[in-house]
């Protein structure tokens, strides 16, 4: 008896085949909480650039990852995981609550006027057991009005005038979350951090751009929450 398949089944098969190879699953797990350039991945995983390029091509063709150009150093590209439903569960299955150790998070972007503010506010509302702060490498005078409006729409507590500089805010034992490419590339290499390559919504300056950035932030926050030793999220 012949078996008829459809697009959804074909997609599931491609995803299973891509993640069934141990090296590709390891790459996906490395990207579960942090975006990375191919060079950063090759260095941290100890694989050759040619072999890594092959695995990334397979993962990209299956829709597991995508690559985007840095908003800072335009010569760089960053690889981002695109988990969906059971795919995220499968990737997360090999991770533990000790994947990252921290007592406080520090979300950092360039101006501390949008992404870092929204991320810290969302984190504090969802995971109050571990506090989060936000800061900028070159803080603006105030939070962007569209970020303030978005926070109001989704019920976040956000101080519209509360921008802060990284040197006045971030402590040595914080886990730094660099939510933009420029900050990741500007910070010292030895500084412990996670990098999220999230496009700057201020550059587009539309409500949709801020909504898109917030969606990406909440997705990554949910993933990060799986790898930290936390009490359960609030409802």
CATH number at residue 25: 1.10.10.10
Domain C-terminal end among 66, 92, 118: 92
**Residue 213 to residue 119: CA distance in whole angstroms:** 10
Residue 226 reports pLDDT greater than 90? no
Domain count, the chain: 2
pLDDT at 89: 80
Q: Are residues 220 and 122 in the same domain?
A: yes
Cα 161–Cα 166–Cα 170 angle in degrees, nearest 5: 110
Three-state secondary structure call for residue 107:
strand
pTM for this predicted structure: 0.90
Instruction: Judge contact between 193 and 176, C-beta under 8 A.
Output: yes
| pLDDT above 70 (res 97) | no
Q: Classify 210 in phi/psi space as left (phi over 0), alpha (psi -120 to 50) or beta.
A: alpha
User: What average pLDDT does range 93-122 have in this prediction?
Assistant: 89
Domain membership flag for residue 19:
yes
Per-residue DSSP letter, 165: B
User: Domain span at residue 162?
Assistant: 105-225
Domain assignment of residue 158, yes or no: yes
Claim to verify: residue 74 and residue 125 sit in the same structural domain: no
DSSP category for residue 166: H
Classify burial at 154, counting beta carbons within 10 Å of its beta carbon; exposed 0-12, middle 13-18, buried 19 or more.
middle
Q: Compute the average pLDDT of residues 82-94.
A: 78
Q: Give yes or no: residues 86 and 125 share one domain.
A: no
Q: Tell me, yes or no, whether 125 lies in a domain.
A: yes
Among 175, 164, 173, smallest CA distance to 138 is for: 164
pLDDT given at position 5: 64
SS3 call for 196: coil
| pLDDT digits 0-9 by tens, 36-60 | 999 999 999 999 999 999 999 999 9
Q: Residue 227 in 3-state DSSP?
A: coil
Contacts of residue 40, defined as CB under 8 A and 6 or more positions apart, other chains included, come to none
Whether residue 28 lies inside any domain: the answer is yes
The mean-pLDDT minimum among 49-63, 71-85, 130-144, 201-215 falls in 71-85
pLDDT of 228 reads 87
pLDDT band at 15 (very low <50, low <70, confident <90, very high): confident
Query: Quick one: pLDDT band at residue 7, thresholds 50, 70, 90?
Result: low
Partners of 36 in the beta sheet? 79
Cβ 116 vs Cβ 179: under 8 Å: yes
Q: Are residues 125 and 74 in the same domain?
A: no
| Residue in 129, 151, 168, 132 with CA at minimum distance from that of residue 210 | 151
């Amino acid at each position: 008896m012949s078996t008829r398949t459809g697009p959804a089944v074909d997609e599931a098969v491609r995803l299973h085949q891509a993640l069934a190879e141990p090296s590709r699953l390891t790459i996906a797990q490395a990207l579960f909480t942090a975006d990375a350039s191919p060079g950063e991945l090759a260095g941290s995983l100890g694989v050759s650039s040619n072999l890594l390029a092959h695995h990334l091509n397979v993962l990209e063709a299956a829709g597991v990852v995508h690559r985007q150009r840095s908003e800072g150093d335009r010569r760089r590209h960053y690889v981002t995981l695109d988990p969906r439903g059971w795919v995220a569960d499968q990737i997360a299955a090999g991770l533990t609550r000790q994947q990252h150790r921290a007592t406080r998070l520090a979300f950092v972007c360039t101006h501390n006027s949008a992404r870092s503010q929204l991320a810290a506010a969302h984190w504090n509302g969802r995971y109050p057991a571990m506090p989060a702060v936000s800061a900028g490498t070159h803080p603006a005078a105030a939070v962007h009005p569209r970020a303030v409006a978005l926070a109001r729409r989704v019920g976040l507590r956000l101080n519209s005038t509360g921008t802060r500089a990284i040197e006045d805010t971030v402590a040595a034992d914080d886990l730094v979350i660099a939510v933009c490419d420029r900050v990741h590339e500007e910070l010292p290499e030895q500084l412990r951090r996670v990098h999220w390559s999230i496009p700057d919504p201020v550059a587009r300056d539309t409500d949709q751009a801020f909504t898109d950035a917030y969606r990406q932030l909440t997705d990554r926050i949910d993933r990060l929450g799986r790898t930290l030793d936390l009490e359960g999220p609030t409802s």
